[in-house]
Structure 1
Amino acid sequence: MKRPDSRFAQFDKRIPADVRALAVGRTLAIPVGAETVLITVTPRMAAIRLSLRTSDPSEVQARQGQVCAYLAATWAALRSHRPVTLSRRQANALAGDLYRGWANEDRGRTLAMTLTAGQWVQDRSTADEEREAFAGQVAKLEGADPESLEPLLGPLVDRLLLRRGFASITAETRADLLDAFAMALRDAFASRARNADGDYSPDPKAARFPDWEPPSPSPEAAPKTSLTGLVDGWWAERKAAGLKPSTHESYRQSMAAFVAFLKHDDASRVTVEDVIAFKDHRLRTINPRTGKPISPKTVKDSDISGLKAIFGWAVANRRMATNPAKDVTLKLGKPLKVRSQGFTDDEARAILKAALTYRRGEQEMAQTAAAKRWVPWLAAYTGARVGELAQLRKQDLRREGAHWVIRITPEAGTVKTNEARDVVLHPHLVEQGFPEFVLAAPPGHLFLRLGVLGDVAGPRQGVKNRLAEFARAIVPDPNVAPNHGWRHRFKTVGIEAGIGERVLDAIQGHAPRTTGGSYGEVTVKAVAAGIERLPWIDCLR
């Protein structure tokens, strides 16, 4: 939803009645993008309300799913009333999460913090004050007993337990956790104090934390099979088989929406009628990005397909007896086609002219500005997917004989076919100076900045969104996709230029249509001959 005093989208979701009393007094650490928002549930609070801290429609949808998934897991944890007993090894594994979060600087020199009631408050700025602050935190934690640690670390313990799916633990386990957390923070603060002195050598204590292993279920109280847990199990197997992370994200969001619709997370309670009702509910749901109902294609290809795949995996792995989504269908009508799916010549020239003359915005990242300058031209002359171009790296350009060649490879991020391919640059791109731009660029990705954990998917999607907005501002026609329109246009222009079908497919990364089409290779020489047939695009006339 939107608030009149903010351009950011707002999240607003009711707290389920059966967990509301259990949630009161707890502080939830809700993930919102790369940040964490702390919300304490009060007796008068009927819903969880927070800013999603973005106005980008695609990012809003992703963050909405992220928050929904967290809340679904939290409510499921609260519904499990039996106190959990953790071993000392498990307590130290949880403490390791805390240590890793505070042992090292990850964004240059971070200002010192004072720990009070489970929250840090920034109160110093100089290096000397920072060193003294962390040394003071170590002293505060030295020799403290569980009773004095509870007000200081108790909120941290609760938040990390909820993240692991536990709402209640035994008194003995809580004492072990408080002790383990205090020791982990002492080590972390000591490491930060060394950093302030200029010592960045590896901390030998960092290796003492074991990997997390969840407690084994007791025979008398075997836990239910959770729907969110099924997604994790399915993904662990499919990830190893090379499935795209985008599919996982889509299916994970669909399952989170399903759990929210059911108001429970128990796979054993799901019926065919539940899936059908969910399908009908999704068809009535308004898409916050468009203000219109979610498209039947999205419901079929994301929601129903996702549930079918995950439940099918659960049946095959003896996690469920039957697949309640197996026979649920949704027939789609043939969409109206009122124009070509590719850009017209005039539309292409208008976008390319804007790209050719683009100048970096005042607060815009250099990589984003470079993407707006070069990616539309690369898409026009290669027909590649915009995401494939957005993840290009400096090392993906090479000279081969008389030709400049870019390699589109899954090593740079992701490629739909999971196969690398070489595409020769059109002479017009060479004349404009693209090779010189690449050679002068620093090592790594040309058009994006890697995420905090080195991931490409999120930043690549951000670049794609910016490019879509850039093109949509010039070509507002909703009947042509602002990024994918280049691929359709390239095929049209290639056919007109007399480029062979197999060469066109090889350039664009389309799979061969027949078994025979997979024999032999389309060489750089063959690709160059095809690319040279493409007419130059004069966008300045």
Structure 2
Amino acid sequence: MAGRVRHLHQDSRGRFYARVSVPAELRAALGKRELLKALGGDRQVALRALPEVIAGFNRQIESARTRLGSVETAGLAEKPVTPLTVEEISALHYADRLRADEELRDLTPGYARIGIDDGYVADVKQIVAGAASNALIHRIFGREIETHLRNGSYSCSHGGADWRRLARHLAYAEIEVLKRMFERDEGQLVTEHPQWALDHAPKPASEAVIDDSEEGDDHETSIRALFEACRKAKAGGQGGERTTKAYTGPVESLIAFLGADNVTLLTNRRISDWLSHLQFERGLAAKTVNSRYLTMVKSTLKWASNHGYIEPIAITASVSVPKKRLNREKGYTDEEARRALEFAYSYVRPADTRESDQLSAAKRWAPWLAHFTGARIGEITQLRKQDISERDGVAVMRITPDAGTTKTGLYRDVPLHRQLIEQGFLEFVKDATDDPLFYPKRDGEQEAVKSAETISNRVAKWLKDADMVPTGVAPLHGFRHAFKTNARIHGLSDRVSDAIQGHASRTAGDDYGDVTIDVKKREIEKQPDVRLDDAIDDGGRH
């Protein structure tokens, strides 16, 4: 494995430098017994620079090892997986899904702006009730069940009683996951979990599964290998690239701080010291340390212990993030929303601007769509021309993962309010070019979520720069909060407003009956038209 940091050294003239010993078998390839780099004469500056320097040394060493064809054999050994009960598998599903949700919220605001699809919730509840077809079960949980069959943690035949029983337990766990996701969407700190999920969490194996380490001196498990195995397992062999890239830096920082790629060096105290180093010596913000660095190590170690690779490490180390103070409601008031919407309605793209047609359209329409649908702004700015259509005689916008992403992987249809249609939104869509409505389509690979997020950030800045956003209100997400408030004021059904916004069902009674497009349309039309200035309403846009 990578060379070990001896220490941060200081020479006779007071200069600091980092030193890494090169493994004996690689010294000929690198032409050195050790790697050195001067870090200056200021100890605090040297300490802040040290992790990145050591990470660079480690990359040089690993690159040399690869070139020689002698890739390190230390890592995770194969071991038969202990069979798990359906209760243990569902508890594992619950924990892994919530950790993945938390990680994605830390990576990008685009994820948190995507709603929970009520159609998906209904399908999962069918599985819980035992009323779902085998095809529906396979579509939602088939990949996960197959993984347990392959690794030996469960045994059943496709479509059999044991197969359906496992699916029902997974579906019940998924419903609990969606409830926690809804709580997080509403800004609640999730600290309470179902007792069954705690009681049935699989116990780790009594011994870590490790291969011999470098030169056969110690038995160590590579932190880097554990992290890579954890990410691969959670991504299910597909996706997860953004998460992996975001956490690679924290992994290398931890290895550099420890002085070796060795998980057996980790203790709760060492983790606490590392967090303090990040916050007070490297100067990272408490929120960054908590959401990226601590999340990475907790997630990796929890996964490794759950799967029997290491003994569990009880991490009680934490980083205090100052609580944000709220001095008012999160959403726009009626008058605040009217001002912002009037400003958007009157927007005309300047003749001498280099602004794209799509961004101009987003400034004009995104705030209005957010106001009348309560959708997250990322769901709106990722819309494509084909996502606006007619369903059963009702004009709707379809929020779908095909356009970018959704939390559940399924779509929902949201009817358009009469005022949007009267203002010409459907004509705008008809005249638009194919594919994205609100961000330019580029040749080659393009990440829809990132492009949509860029546009939503620019629209938000435009509103703020125009003094249309009150202090304490998120420029665009504030419309989502206001929608919920207005729904209650104007008598919209909670069940229907949840379905419109993509929130999970809240009660057992919500299991019965479907929320049809006609019902959604009826409830959306209860919202009054936005009152515009007479001059603007008469066509005097500026």
TM-score range, shorter chain: 0.5 to 0.7
Counterpart of 2:18 in structure 1 is 17
Distance 2:366 2:50 in 1: 34
Counterpart of 1:479 in structure 2 is 472
Normalising to structure 2: TM-score of the pair? 0.56
Distance 1:313 1:274 in 2: 19
Deviations 1:272-328 (A, max 9, x none): 2222123334555898xxxxx7355x6545443332112212233454x23546333
- One-letter amino acid of the counterpart of residue 17, structure 1: A
Equivalent position to 1:345, from 334, 345, 349? 334
- One-letter amino acid of the counterpart of residue 294, structure 2: I
Deviations 1:67-121 (A, max 9, x none): 999977543223459644566xxxxxxxxxxxxxxxxxxxxxxxxxxxxxxxxxx
Equivalent position to 2:423, from 432, 441, 444? 432
Equivalent position to 2:458, from 463, 466, 480? 466
Deviations 1:326-371 (A, max 9, x none): 3334577765331000012232223222322334462222222222
Counterpart of 2:365 in structure 1 is 374
CA contact (8 A) 1:450 1:456 kept: no
Counterpart of 1:273 in structure 2 is 269
- One-letter amino acid of the counterpart of residue 491, structure 1: K
Deviations 1:376-417 (A, max 9, x none): 111011000111111111111111244210111112111134
CA shift for structure 1 position 463: 1.7
Corresponding residue SS for 1:404: strand
Judged with a 3 Å threshold, the aligned counterparts in structure 2 of structure 1 residues 348 and 240 are, in CA distance, closer, same or farther, namely same
Distance 1:69 1:354 in 2: 49
Deviations 1:217-267 (A, max 9, x none): 998658975544444332222222999777656655654554565566544
Counterpart of 1:77 in structure 2 is 59
Counterpart of 2:403 in structure 1 is 412
Equivalent position to 1:307, from 281, 292, 297? 297
Corresponding residue SS for 1:280: helix
Distance 1:440 1:70 in 2: 51
CA contact (8 A) 1:375 1:389 kept: yes
Judged with a 3 Å threshold, the aligned counterparts in structure 2 of structure 1 residues 443 and 329 are, in CA distance, closer, same or farther, namely same
Considering only aligned residues, what root-mean-square deviation do their CA atoms show, in Å?
A: 4.1
| Residue ranges of structure 1 left out of the alignment (5+ in a row) | 1-14, 23-42, 48-66, 88-216, 288-292
Judged with a 3 Å threshold, the aligned counterparts in structure 2 of structure 1 residues 272 and 417 are, in CA distance, closer, same or farther, namely same
Equivalent position to 2:306, from 309, 316, 319? 316
Corresponding residue SS for 1:398: strand
CA contact (8 A) 1:417 1:509 kept: no
Counterpart of 2:448 in structure 1 is 456
Distance 1:523 1:513 in 2: 18
CA contact (8 A) 1:397 1:438 kept: yes
Counterpart of 1:326 in structure 2 is 315
Deviations 1:120-175 (A, max 9, x none): xxxxxxxxxxxxxxxxxxxxxxxxxxxxxxxxxxxxxxxxxxxxxxxxxxxxxxxx
Corresponding residue SS for 2:521: helix
Normalising to structure 1: TM-score of the pair? 0.56
Deviations 1:442-468 (A, max 9, x none): 221211245742322321221222122
CA contact (8 A) 1:254 1:303 kept: yes
Corresponding residue SS for 1:234: helix
Judged with a 3 Å threshold, the aligned counterparts in structure 2 of structure 1 residues 236 and 453 are, in CA distance, closer, same or farther, namely farther
Counterpart of 2:414 in structure 1 is 423
CA contact (8 A) 1:275 1:325 kept: no
Distance 2:399 2:414 in 1: 8
Counterpart of 1:522 in structure 2 is 515
Counterpart of 1:111 in structure 2 is none
Judged with a 3 Å threshold, the aligned counterparts in structure 2 of structure 1 residues 44 and 328 are, in CA distance, closer, same or farther, namely closer
Superposed, 1:14-413 pairs within 5 Å as: 17-18=18-19, 74-80=56-62, 83-85=65-67, 226-240=222-236, 251-252=247-248, 254-255=250-251, 258=254, 265-284=261-280, 294-295=285-286, 299-319=289-309, 321-324=310-313, 326-329=315-318, 335-360=324-349, 362-413=353-404
Corresponding residue SS for 1:18: strand
Judged with a 3 Å threshold, the aligned counterparts in structure 2 of structure 1 residues 76 and 268 are, in CA distance, closer, same or farther, namely farther
Deviations 1:396-440 (A, max 9, x none): 111124421011111211113433111000011111111111122
Distance 2:348 2:504 in 1: 37
Corresponding residue SS for 1:17: strand
Higher normalized contact order (CA 8 Å, seq sep 6+, divided by chain length): 2
Judged with a 3 Å threshold, the aligned counterparts in structure 2 of structure 1 residues 80 and 397 are, in CA distance, closer, same or farther, namely closer
Aligned residues: 356
Counterpart of 1:137 in structure 2 is none
Deviations 1:504-539 (A, max 9, x none): 100111111123323332110110011100111124
Corresponding residue SS for 1:490: helix
CA contact (8 A) 1:382 1:508 kept: yes
Distance 2:459 2:252 in 1: 29
CA contact (8 A) 2:51 2:257 kept: no
Distance 2:245 2:214 in 1: 35
CA contact (8 A) 2:55 2:256 kept: no
Judged with a 3 Å threshold, the aligned counterparts in structure 2 of structure 1 residues 21 and 457 are, in CA distance, closer, same or farther, namely farther
